[in-house]
A and B are shown apart, each in its own frame.
Chain A
Amino acid sequence: KQEVTQIPAALSVPEGENLVLNCSFTDSAIYNLQWFRQDPGKGLTSLLLIQSSQREQTSGRLNASLDKSSGRSTLYIAASQPGDSATYLCAPLINKFYFGSGTKLNVKP
């Protein structure tokens, strides 16, 4: 069974800092990996999707990298803003998503 670990579990930073959220997974036979954002009381919002053949994807201030062979992905957030405060979930996909427990991010104004 796929095990997904996200580090750190929680992170509190002042506005403007660059951040790195880490994700590791045990089964590297994935189709792709997706990063989601979850706001309290809301559903999940897809942020970035990296196919297994890709090394990274970028969207605005977000950059996600994938090292499939070592079972790692990172989400880089540049110039963090208070609106980035949320829980970030990493989810590698085999026939279904396996989710980590997330990193709870708080960006202080």
Chain B
Amino acid sequence: DVKVTQSSRYLVKRTGEKVFLECVQDMDHENMFWYRQDPGLGLRLIYFSYDVKMKEKGDIPEGYSVSREKKERFSLILESASTNQTSMYLCASSLSTLGGARQETQYFGPGTRLLVL
């Protein structure tokens, strides 16, 4: 079974703080993704990575950065948290970019609910 874990289920931070969200997967997946999910807006892709040291901007990268130093770990960083970054953050991983349903199926972590005050 694929397992994707996230460092915290709930997090409360103050405006201006630097926030680190960690994600680890144990299935040797190449691809990792960070999304945020807000009511009425669905899942929005922030950043993704196809390999160690690689990163690609998603649809809403502003205010975020990422780090992938090891294949199994993908970190999302909020450089200076703001109240509009209060959201549910979901990490996901998938096998490869070769195409086909099996490779592209994404497996999600349990999510981190972040509240920025």
- Pair from one complex: no
